[in-house]
């Protein structure tokens, strides 16, 4: 190499080298302590929500008048991937997902563009529409969710205490923001006797105007004096109920008070739209969002102290405790990393000691923490936290970063055994191994380029694998050419007296030489057999190996979803939720239990997609003490479900999954213009899915129609009675549900005053009396005929097209395999669809397709960079071809390992397979460089090839064994397990094949004499 011999410099300037070695160790310790901790890497959820309400409108009217124009404006924003609208009576929620390749820094601008268009569209929407409201905090991931309960105490006491806790929690260091979840909306209800109002000649409008005039806050003027400016204040505050009760109402020339014609009570919205319970007790939650880059372990410690202090100051009867806490997951991950790191380091040292001796093994062992310490330092400088991805990448690096140290120290040992002094041997190791090690390292790192630069959510989530591996492997090369020679000079023992015999003349090397010689003689058969094995492995990967997207999480949460028939009231949904709560309440395996009625749970884990408001839905989160407890909870609940204890609902129990949010693993969208045709097609698809024994609970996402009471009015007759349809609607709304008439100002909240009649039962609808403009009483039966009709309780649209989704769980197979089987089985159904209708694949396959596509786009760049580095080292097309030809050989061992241990092939395993190509090419690069060195030493070509394989066998096999054993601890990790198996099988088999395949291929390519 053109720059100075760093190894010679390191052993020459030993005090300087020792200084930097010690400095590196202390810098690494400091950096490890200072690094931020988080459960998952910083990740941009490219989703926002837009909601709008139109009280009284049917889903069809909402679809035409709200959803369609809002979706049209949203589609004008760039980088919109898809729009999914969920329409209920009087409400639409629009989920907007942006392209995965959208840069994170661009998201605030896109969110602004959506909000701006919604504001522009608002004046063009029908009268009475509330919103649209844009929510770009939808993607917040809560570090901790805390509950405040007060069994038997008034909710207003709990809310008053909650405000103080929220304010103090927001001042804790490391907390970005605190969100209140599940707070019931306070209301004041005025309940009128409609008959009495009619008899007194009072109209609701008159009463509402009187109340508003007494409550409205208006400026009363001011004047200037020689001293201060004087403001005039009026006492027009109705905060206290007695003030509201005394509002005067005028009847002719008389005055009566409001409480003479109405009963007044404080309460909360009826019915409740969203209810939260903790262990069966109504609760209000605080969701805590951690600041970016904060140390999650330290924040967890501060939070534990905060919760303890707050519990001590709470009034008697109140309980404040965490329901979910990322600090526990972070602590477990860091502790597990430290344990696996220690195990891996001891394994590598043991392998090195057994292979090359005690002191050489210690040199290799010292190189590991030094390299990792420098890696921590660079990570700190680059603001890379310790999280699930980086911790796994560091353990992965343990099996790779020892290669350079082993190669360097092994070369020193060989030369010392040949009689060289240790300083000269250290310098020689640089001249022979530094360049191939460097380019081999670069080839290995480049293998992970698609992961580091993938423009997708998954790429952003896992991208730090590239950076951590790139940093650690590059530093491992630097350590191997500087600190390792220094430590070798200091620690390696003096070898026995040189006898003149080559260290490669032992019996073991002679046997290896014989095997390699036979491979060279039968080169054609060896190459053909290897190619056939590769072809079979590729076929096996495509057919026999199970496929998945991301593995299941090992977190202790159990997610229970309760789906009632669409249109079900929240009170009925609550009855089923209470049945599930009763089962879980006394289970010792349940640490915390929370229930969410009318919507999904807050996003406490990055892979959760909270469900939208729906009175027919409830979510429960049961947290076990550990993974075993979680599995017990799931098995217990599943048994109750299988026993038919919830015939009224679809109850689903599941654990959390890693990766992008996927609600149902197997899912299809039936898309088309006519809802009835969608139903027919979706039901046919459901039958196809249900026919497979591995499918569990195939169902349509929505199918039911809900009853409504329809009043058929004759408008001409209505006019003759002195009524209008709008007036009939207002009077019915007043009688049955009521409506807001003003807002009371109570401390830091606005409390709506709801006016309603006593006739709240639909059974009395026909007996209601309306009042005409001239004061006459008119029974509702004279206004029109009341009949029962049916309408869609929900409509869903995907990119402005109606759709019905068909979902299912799977048992015993992977979702991707099952989706492929159903797609094939439904070919005839898809072919029979009329124009304008189609079936789309959703679920795991859709998400994995996006992730895989983002990786595949960068694979050409990866191959180009690999070729560049290989060519720079080999400086010949033939040598480059031989190196590249070994890249896919890892598939053989990977497939064997996946099949042998029953592991699926998914996105995480794909990362390992991509990186495996670089690892094997690195070994081949060093091997072929040894061939070139042998040829330069005037060896015969055949001898040069055989001897190169023999001489590089020990470091190649040693590094492979070290890597395999270092990856073993990762096999027990739920996230990294498939990747570890791929690397273990690929490196073990690939290394063995390389030692025998490369010499055969080299001899075949160059047509060497046998």
Whether the per-residue pLDDT at 830 is higher than 50: the answer is yes
Q: Mean of the pLDDT values across residues 784-802?
A: 89
Query: What pLDDT digit, counting tens, does each position of 582-592 carry?
Result: 999 889 999 99
8 Å CB contact between 391 and 398: no
Round to whole Å and give the CA distance between 614 and 314.
34
8 Å CB contact between 25 and 373: yes
Closest CA to 904 of 658, 549, 547, 666: 547
First to last CA, the chain: 34
- Average pLDDT, whole number, for the chain? 85
Round to whole Å and give the CA distance between 401 and 121.
58
Round to whole Å and give the CA distance between 553 and 325.
15
Both tokens of 642, joined, read 């299988």
User: Residue 838, class by beta-carbon neighbours within 10 Å (0-12 exposed, 13-18 middle, 19+ buried)?
Assistant: middle
3-class DSSP state for residue 729? Answer: helix
Round to whole Å and give the CA distance between 355 and 374.
27
120-153 burial: b if 16+ Cβ within 10 Å, else e: ebeeebeeebebbebebebbbbbbbbbbbbbeee
Both tokens of 431, joined, read 């001249």
Q: What pLDDT is recorded for position 5? A: 84
Round to whole Å and give the CA distance between 734 and 740.
10
Q: Which residue has the higher pLDDT, 606 or 650?
A: 650
The residue whose two tokens read 């008159």 is: 206
Query: What pLDDT digit, counting tens, does each position of 469-500 carry?
Result: 999 999 999 998 899 888 888 888 876 655 55
Q: What pLDDT is recorded for position 249? A: 78
Indicate if 46-138 has the same CATH topology as 1-34+357-493. Answer: no
The region of weakest confidence among 18-22, 305-309, 916-920, 985-989 is 916-920
Round to whole Å and give the CA distance between 628 and 770.
63
Closest CA to 943 of 876, 1003, 881, 880: 1003
Both tokens of 501, joined, read 């015999």
pTM above 0.85, yes or no: no
Q: What pLDDT is recorded for position 123? A: 93
Q: Mean of the pLDDT values across residues 879-897?
A: 88
Q: Which of 427-441, 449-463, 810-824 ranks highest by mean pLDDT?
A: 810-824
Whether the per-residue pLDDT at 890 is higher than 80: the answer is yes
8 Å CB contact between 91 and 103: no
Query: pLDDT band at residue 981, thresholds of 50, 70 and 90?
Result: very high
User: Residue 868, class by beta-carbon neighbours within 10 Å (0-12 exposed, 13-18 middle, 19+ buried)?
Assistant: middle
Query: pLDDT band at residue 766, thresholds of 50, 70 and 90?
Result: low
Query: What pLDDT digit, counting tens, does each position of 195-240 carry?
Result: 777 677 777 777 788 888 888 888 888 888 888 889 888 877 777 8
Q: In the CATH scheme, what architecture does the domain 46-138 have?
A: 2-Layer Sandwich (3.30)
Q: What pLDDT is recorded for position 762? A: 47
Both tokens of 910, joined, read 């794909």
Q: Mean of the pLDDT values across residues 787-800?
A: 90
Q: Which residues are registered as beta bridge partners of 51?
A: 93, 133
Both tokens of 448, joined, read 């992970």
Residues 6+ apart with CB under 8 A from 667: 805, 806, 807, 808, 841, 842, 843, 846
Q: Mean of the pLDDT values across residues 362-386?
A: 89
Round to whole Å and give the CA distance between 207 and 270.
22
DSSP characters over 437-453: HHHHHHHHHHTTHHHHH
Q: CA 236 from chain center: how many Å?
A: 51
Gyration radius from the chain CA atoms: 36
Q: What does each C-alpha distance from 934 to 90, 505, 547, 943, 950 come to in angstroms?
A: 82, 16, 45, 8, 12
Query: What pLDDT digit, counting tens, does each position of 609-622 carry?
Result: 888 888 999 999 99
Residues 6+ apart with CB under 8 A from 721: 772, 776, 778, 782, 783
User: Residue 227, class by beta-carbon neighbours within 10 Å (0-12 exposed, 13-18 middle, 19+ buried)?
Assistant: exposed
Round to whole Å and give the CA distance between 784 and 894.
74
Element (H, E) at 222: strand 222-224
Round to whole Å and give the CA distance between 736 and 756.
7
Round to whole Å and give the CA distance between 755 and 738.
5
Query: What pLDDT digit, counting tens, does each position of 932-974 carry?
Result: 878 888 888 888 888 888 887 877 888 788 788 878 877 887 7
Q: What pLDDT is recorded for position 760? A: 46
3-class DSSP state for residue 177? Answer: strand
Q: Which residue has the higher pLDDT, 544 or 378?
A: 378
User: At CA 754, angle to CA 748 and CA 759, rounded to 5?
Assistant: 155
Closest CA to 64 of 126, 151, 149: 126
Assigned superfamily of 1-34+357-493: Multidrug efflux transporter AcrB transmembrane domain (1.20.1640.10)
Round to whole Å and give the CA distance between 739 and 730.
9
Closest CA to 664 of 617, 618, 700: 700
Both tokens of 613, joined, read 């408001």
Give the rounded percent of residues in the chain with a pLDDT score beyond 70.
Answer: 97
3-class DSSP state for residue 666? Answer: strand
Query: What pLDDT digit, counting tens, does each position of 718-745 carry?
Result: 887 878 888 888 888 888 888 888 888 8
CATH number of this structure's domain 553-656: 3.30.70.1430
Give the rounded percent of residues in the chain with a pLDDT score beyond 90.
Answer: 30
Q: What pLDDT is recorded for position 704? A: 84
Q: Which residue has the higher pLDDT, 502 or 102?
A: 102
Q: Mean of the pLDDT values across residues 262-267?
A: 87
What are the domain boundaries of the chain? 1-34+357-493, 46-138, 553-656
Both tokens of 274, joined, read 């969203």
Round to whole Å and give the CA distance between 936 and 886.
24
The region of weakest confidence among 260-274, 715-729, 763-777 is 763-777
- Give the chain's largest Cα–Cα span: 129
Helix boundaries (H) for 667-756: 675-690, 715-720, 725-736
Closest CA to 375 of 472, 494, 263, 249: 472
User: Residue 265, class by beta-carbon neighbours within 10 Å (0-12 exposed, 13-18 middle, 19+ buried)?
Assistant: exposed
Round to whole Å and give the CA distance between 763 and 741.
26
Whether the per-residue pLDDT at 186 is higher than 80: the answer is yes
Closest CA to 780 of 802, 800, 762: 762
Residues 6+ apart with CB under 8 A from 517: 946
8 Å CB contact between 47 and 139: yes
Residue 262 dihedral angles phi and psi, to the nearest 5°: -145, 145
- Count of C-beta atoms within a 10 Å radius of residue 507: 7
Q: What pLDDT is recorded for position 294? A: 82
């Amino acid at each position: 190499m053109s720059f100075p011999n760093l190894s010679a410099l390191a052993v020459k300037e030993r005090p300087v080298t020792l200084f930097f070695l010690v400095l590196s160790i202390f810098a690494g310790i400091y950096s490890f302590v200072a690094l931020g901790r988080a459960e998952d890497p910083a990740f941009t959820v490219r989703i926002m929500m837009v909601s709008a309400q139109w009280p009284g409108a049917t889903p069809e009217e909402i679809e035409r008048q709200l959803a369609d124009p809002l979706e049209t404006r949203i589609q004008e924003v760039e980088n919109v991937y898809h729009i999914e609208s969920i329409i209920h009576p009087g409400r639409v929620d629009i989920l907007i997902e942006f392209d995965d390749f959208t840069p994170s820094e661009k998201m605030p601008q896109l969110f602004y563009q959506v909000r701006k268009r919604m504001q522009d569209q608002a004046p063009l929407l029908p009268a009475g529409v509330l919103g649209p409201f844009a929510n770009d905090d939808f993607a917040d991931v809560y570090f901790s969710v805390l509950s405040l309960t007060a069994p038997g105490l008034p909710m207003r006491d709990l809310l008053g205490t909650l405000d103080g806790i929220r304010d103090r929690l927001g001042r804790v260091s490391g907390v970005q923001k605190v969100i209140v979840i599940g707070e019931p909306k306070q209301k004041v209800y005025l309940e009128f006797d409609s008959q009495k109002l009619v008899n007194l000649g009072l109209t609701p409008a008159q009463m509402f105007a009187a109340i508003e005039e007494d409550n409205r806050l208006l400026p009363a003027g001011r004047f200037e004096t020689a001293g201060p400016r004087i403001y005039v204040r009026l006492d027009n505050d109705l905060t206290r109920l007695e003030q509201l009760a005394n509002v005067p109402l005028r009847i002719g020339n008389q005055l009566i008070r409001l409480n003479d014609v109405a009963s007044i009570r404080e309460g909360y919205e009826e019915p409740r739209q969203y209810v939260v319970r903790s262990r069966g007790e109504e609760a209000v939650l605080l969701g805590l969002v951690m600041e970016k880059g904060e140390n999650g372990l330290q924040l967890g410690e501060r939070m534990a102290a905060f919760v303890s202090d707050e519990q001590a100051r709470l009034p008697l009867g109140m309980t404040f405790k965490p329901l979910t806490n990322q600090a526990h997951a972070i602590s477990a991950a860091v502790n597990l990393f430290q344990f696996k790191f220690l195990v891996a380091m001891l394994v590598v040292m043991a392998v090195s000691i057994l292979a090359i001796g005690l002191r050489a093994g210690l040199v290799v062992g010292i190189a590991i923490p030094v390299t990792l310490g420098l890696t921590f330092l660079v990570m700190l400088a680059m603001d890379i936290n310790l999280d699930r991805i980086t911790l796994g990448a560091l353990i992965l690096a343990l099996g790779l970063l020892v290669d350079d140290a082993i190669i360097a120290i092994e070369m020193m040992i060989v030369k010392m055994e040949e009689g060289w002094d240790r300083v000269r041997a250290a310098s020689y190791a640089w001249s022979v191994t530094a360049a191939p090690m460097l380019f081999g390292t670069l080839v290995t790192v480049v293998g992970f380029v698609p992961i580091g630069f993938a423009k997708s959510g998954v790429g952003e989530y896992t991208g730090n694998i590239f950076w951590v591996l790139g940093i650690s492997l590059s530093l491992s090369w630097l350590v191997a050419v500087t600190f390792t020679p220094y430590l070798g000079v200091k620690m390696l023992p003096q070898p026995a007296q040189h006898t003149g015999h080559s260290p490669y003349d032992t019996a073991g090397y002679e046997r290896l030489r014989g095997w390699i010689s036979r491979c060279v003689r039968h080169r054609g058969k060896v190459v053909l057999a290897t190619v056939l094995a590769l072809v079979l492995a590729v076929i096996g990967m495509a057919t026999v190996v199970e496929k998945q997207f991301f593995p299941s999480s090992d977190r202790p949460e159990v997610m229970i979803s309760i789906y009632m028939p669409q249109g079900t009231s929240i009170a009925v949904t609550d009855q089923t939720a209470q049945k599930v709560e009763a089962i879980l309440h006394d289970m010792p395996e349940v640490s915390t239990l929370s229930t969410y009625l009318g919507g999904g749970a807050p996003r406490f884990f990055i892979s959760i997609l909270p469900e939208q408001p729906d009175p027919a839905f409830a979510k429960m989160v049961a947290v076990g003490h550990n993974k075993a407890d979680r599995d017990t909870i799931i098995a217990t609940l599943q048994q109750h479900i299988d026993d038919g204890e919830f015939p009224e609902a679809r109850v689903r129990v599941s654990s959390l999954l890693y990766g992008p949010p996927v609600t149902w693993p197997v899912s299809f969208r039936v898309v088309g213009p006519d809802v009835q045709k969608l139903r027919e097609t979706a039901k046919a698809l459901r039958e196809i899915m249900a026919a497979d024994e591995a499918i569990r609970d195939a169902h349509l996402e929505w199918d039911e129609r809900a009853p409504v009471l329809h009043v058929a009015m004759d408008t001409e007759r209505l006019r003759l009675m002195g009524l209008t349809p709008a007036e009939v609607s207002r009077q019915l709304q007043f009688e049955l549900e009521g409506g807001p008439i003003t807002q009371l100002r109570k401390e830091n909240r606005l409390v709506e005053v709801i006016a309603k009649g006593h006739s709240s039962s639909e059974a009395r609808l026909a007996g209601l009396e309306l009042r005409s403009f001239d004061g006459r009483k008119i029974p509702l039966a004279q206004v029109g005929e009341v009949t029962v009709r049916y309408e869609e309780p929900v409509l869903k649209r995907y990119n402005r097209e109606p759709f019905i989704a068909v979902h299912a769980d799977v048992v015993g197979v992977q979702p991707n395999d099952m989706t492929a089987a159903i797609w094939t089985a439904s070919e005839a159904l898809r072919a029979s669809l009329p124009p304008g209708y189609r079936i789309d694949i959703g679920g795991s396959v859709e998400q994995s397709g996006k992730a895989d596509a983002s990786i595949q786009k960068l694979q050409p760049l990866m191959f180009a960079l690999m070729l560049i580095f290989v060519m720079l080292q080999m400086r010949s097309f033939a040598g480059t071809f031989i190196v590249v030809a070994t890249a896919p050989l890892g598939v053989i061992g990977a497939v064997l390992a996946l099949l042998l241990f029953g592991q699926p092939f998914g996105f995480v395993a794909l990362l390992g397979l991509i990186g495996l190509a670089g690892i094997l090419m690195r070994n081949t690069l060093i091997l072929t460089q040894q061939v070139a060195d042998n040829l330069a030493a005037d060896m015969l070509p055949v001898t040069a090839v055989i001897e190169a394989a023999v001489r590089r066998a020990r470091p190649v096999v040693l590094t492979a064994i070290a890597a395999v054993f270092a990856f073993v601890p990762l096999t027990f990790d739920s996230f990294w397990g498939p990747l570890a198996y791929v690397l273990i099988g690929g490196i073990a088999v690939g290394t063995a094949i390389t030692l025998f395949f490369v010499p055969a291929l080299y001899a075949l390519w160059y047509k060497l004499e046998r």
